[in-house]
Amino acid sequence: MQRATSILAIAIAGTFVTGSALAQDAAPADMQPADAFIQQLDTDGDGKVSLEEALAPQQQRFDEIDADGDGYITAEEAGNAFNAQVPAEMLEAMQERGMPDPGETFVKNLDQDGDGRVSREEFEQPTIESFNRMDTDGDGYATREEATAFFDEMQRQMQEQMQRMQEQGLQNPHQ
């Protein structure tokens, strides 16, 4: 159950980190994830996304969350930014279910050096890692084909995780 909670927390943090950046030019709901990825991040119009293009919204979002401008995001800053984006009903439901504080979870999941705060480099690391997994030919660009394969794999992994969580719930209904 702890692993499921951690995965959920990472998913929430990921949505929190990327949600507002991608919402700037929201894609139609029926658009494929790879097409939306290219449309929203390909700022030079070459039909592919570079690491720099992928990081640009993250850099902007980091600056928005880092309220005091000291170059680090604290649990309080992350929590405030999360709370400003999430509907009050969802926050209440999270509290009722005993879910961990989103700001603390955010820092716990991204703070690689253990100093209790998230640097710009730590904040960008998940994007860099995802981009590198997406860029399968290592040319420094994510094409539509690479993005499609990446998002298909992410969807498959998420479905498997949801299935495992459902199976755990059925095996242990009183936990």
pLDDT (tens digit per residue) in 52-76: 999 999 999 999 999 999 999 999 9
Residue 4's pLDDT is 40
Of 7, 49, 60, the closest CA to residue 134 belongs to 49
Number of domains present in the structure of the chain: 1
- Three-class SS state of 118: strand
Parallel, antiparallel or unpaired: strands 72-73 and 49-50: unpaired
Give me the sign of the Cα torsion angle 12, 72, 110, 128: positive
Residue 115's pLDDT is 97
Measured distance CA(132)–CA(134) in Å, rounded: 5
Of 117, 20, 113, the closest CA to residue 78 belongs to 117
Provide, rounded to the nearest whole percent, the portion of the chain with pLDDT above 90.
Answer: 66
pLDDT, the chain, mean? 85
The residue behind tokens 């700001």 is 103
User: Which pTM value belongs to this model?
Assistant: 0.73
- Three-class SS state of 169: helix
Domain that includes residue 86, residue range: 2-171
Q: Which amino acid type is present at position 153?
A: E
pLDDT digits (tens, 9 = 90+) for 111-145: 999 999 999 999 999 999 999 999 999 999 999 99
Considering just the CA atoms, what is the radius of gyration of the chain in Å? 17
CB contact at 8 A, 13 and 106: yes
